[in-house]
Amino acid sequence: MLLGILAAMASPSSLSPTDPVALQDRIDDVLRSFLSARRQELAWIDPRATDPIDEVIGLFEAGGKRIRPAFCYWGYRAAGGPHGEPILRAAASLELLHTMALIHDDVMDASAARRGRPTVHTRQAEAAARRGQPEPERIGTAVAILAGDLASVLADQLLLESGFAPVRLAAALGRYHRMRTEMAAGAHLGLIGADADARRLASLKGGSYTVEGPLLIGAALAGASILVATRLERFGEPLGEAFQLLDDLRDGDAAPGVTMIDATKLIAEARDALDPDVLDTDAVRALGLLADLVGGS
């Protein structure tokens, strides 16, 4: 579904609107090339050291919507940034950060499968058992933690080496670090079952790093004005909350009293914040389509 939506998003000056896989394919190309080079570096250190990056690569190749890179790209374009390799690389870095979150979440939740394949800790525990190692489950968990940590390191590297000027990277890193801090806070509060406002917890658990954070990182890379950043924040905050509320509703983890109506209202609030007088018009259209995707329409 995302491929068809992304096809309608791009303008002739960036990505062809007639290409059904334009943005996602470009992001995947960046990641495939980058991860292949990093794997070779690890193999040069020791061929036995590649398990963690092989797990990162395997999860990437297993699929995913690349929705966080899409929000980063269109946040950048909304602020007037031109299409080019630097923004594709910066946006792709957020998929690696998401990979870290998925691997670590699966460990915390003791999940058995992800994207149609065994989770990293499950696969590595089975591999340790085949090798006859003692405590294979402990080893599986440890390798998964290392793979998640490596994904985070690689996300940083790809962002820092994206090709933007230092002043733009410094601005983006401020929002990037805040986003990662919020990710950790939200994961912890969700883990301990903290009694918190449902909307605030939804934002911290996933909304911040799914929508608002990527949008504002992209905007910062484009040198966005305060006005543009504010408009994007007004769009991204409720939409990110809606994303997480819908995820919690699907998983049966929603706070008491939270319903689809709450998420629908948040999506409508986000769409109302898109201002074509302030934001690039192609980006307004793209972000509206991404809002529809979040809502499942």
275 is written with which tokens?
A: 């201002």
Residue 232 lies in a domain: no
pLDDT at 132 over 50: yes
Residue 294 lies in a domain: no
pLDDT digits (tens, 9 = 90+) for 182-209: 999 888 887 887 666 666 777 777 778 9
Instruction: Give how many domains the chain has, as a whole number.
Output: 1
The residue segments making up the domain with residue 87 are: 2-223
pTM of the predicted model over 0.85: yes
Residue 267 lies in a domain: no
Distance CA 14, CA 127 (A): 44
Predicted confidence at residue 201, as pLDDT, reads: 73
Residue 22 lies in a domain: yes
Angle between helix axes 136-160 and 85-109 (nearest 10 degrees) is 160
Residue 244 lies in a domain: no
Residue 241 lies in a domain: no
Residue 34 lies in a domain: yes
Residue 246 lies in a domain: no
pLDDT higher for 77 or 296? 77
- Nearest Cα neighbor of 248 from 116, 257, 267, 180 is 257
- Any idea which of 21-30, 143-152, 214-223, 244-253 has the lowest mean pLDDT? 244-253
| CATH number, residue 209 | 1.10.600.10
